[in-house]
C-alpha cells in the first residue's frame, strides 16, 4: 500500500544500521503518547501514538512527491494507526536528517538526534528549543 515498503523506509534502515532507528521510533512513541494510539494532545491538533499534526502528514506526502513515489498518499486518519504513523514519522525524520547530513561525516547518534529533533519540529530541528526534547528521547534510547 502506501510507503510501507517505500524508498524512504528502506533508506532509513540502511542509513542508521542495525536496530538503532527502530529504537529511536520506539522512544519517540513512548515520549509522545506512552504508546497510546488513541492519545490526543490538550489542544486537539496532535493525535495518535506519535502525536502527528495534519501539517506533519502533509509534509510526509510532499516528501513522497519529491521522490515521485507513485503509491497512495497518507491521510489524516492514518495518524490513528500505530503502524502507518510510524511509517509517516520515518519518512519525515529520515528525509530531514539525511538532508542535514548529506555529504558530511557524522555519527549514528548525530543522525538520530537530528531525526528526533525533526520529529519535535521539522522547521526548528537545529534550534535550541528542540534540545530538551532530544535529551528526553535520548534518555529513553540509552535505556534500551
pTM attached to this predicted model: 0.84
Please say whether the beta carbons of 98 and 77 come within 8 A: no
**Tens digit of pLDDT for each residue in 95-141?**
998 888 887 878 888 889 999 999 999 888 888 889 999 999 999 98
Q: Is residue 136 part of a domain?
A: yes
What pLDDT, on the 0 to 100 scale, is given for residue 2? 38
At residue 11's C-alpha, the angle toward residues 89 and 137, to 5°, is 40
We report the CATH number of the domain holding residue 68 as 1.10.530.10
Q: Does any domain span residue 71?
A: yes
Give the mean pLDDT of 78-87. 97
Q: What average pLDDT score do residues 45-50 get? A: 98
How much is the average pLDDT of 39-48?
A: 97
Q: What is the DSSP letter of 77?
A: G
In a domain? residue 78: yes
What stretches of the chain show up as alpha helix (H) in DSSP? 7-16, 20-33, 54-66, 82-101, 108-120, 131-142
- What per-residue confidence (pLDDT) applies to 118? 94
Q: Is 2 part of a structural domain of the chain? A: no
Neighbours of 98 (CB within 10 A): 16
Residue 1 counted as domain residue:
no
Percent of the chain with pLDDT over 70: 87
The structural domain count of the chain equals: 1
The answer to whether residue 24 sits within a structural domain is yes
What pLDDT score was predicted for residue 14? 39
- Whether residue 90 lies inside any domain: the answer is yes
84 found inside a domain: yes
26-30, 38-42, 93-97, range with the lowest pLDDT: 93-97
Range of the domain at 74: 7-142
pLDDT of residue 144: 73
Query: What backbone phi and psi angles, to 5 degrees, belong to 41?
Result: -70, 165
Half-sphere exposure of 85 (CA within 13 A, CB side): 28
- Residue 3 pLDDT grade (very low, low, confident, very high; cuts 50, 70, 90): very low
116 and 133 Cβ atoms separated by less than 8 Å: yes
Amino acid at each position: 500500500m502506501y510507503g510501507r515498503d517505500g524508498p524512504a523506509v528502506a533508506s532509513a534502515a540502511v542509513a542508521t544500521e542495525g536496530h538503532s532507528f527502530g529504537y529511536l521510533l520506539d522512544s519517540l512513541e513512548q515520549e509522545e503518547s506512552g504508546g497510546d494510539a488513541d492519545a490526543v494532545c490538550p489542544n486537539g491538533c496532535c493525535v495518535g501514538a506519535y502525536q502527528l499534526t495534519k501539517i506533519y502528514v502533509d509534509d510526509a506526502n510532499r516528501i513522497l512527491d519529491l521522490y515521485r513515489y507513485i503509491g497512495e498518499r497518507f491521510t489524516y486518519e492514518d495518524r490513528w494507526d500505530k503502524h502507518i504513523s510510524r511509517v509517516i514519522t520515518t519518512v519525515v525524520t529520515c528525509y530531514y536528517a539525511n538532508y542535514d547530513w548529506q555529504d558530511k561525516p557524522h555519527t549514528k547518534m548525530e543522525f538520530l538526534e537530528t531525526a528526533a529533533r525533526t520529529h519535535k519540529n521539522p522547521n526548528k530541528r537545529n534550534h535550541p528549543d528542540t534540545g530538551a526534547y532530544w535529551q528526553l528521547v535520548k534518555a529513553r534510547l540509552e535505556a534500551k
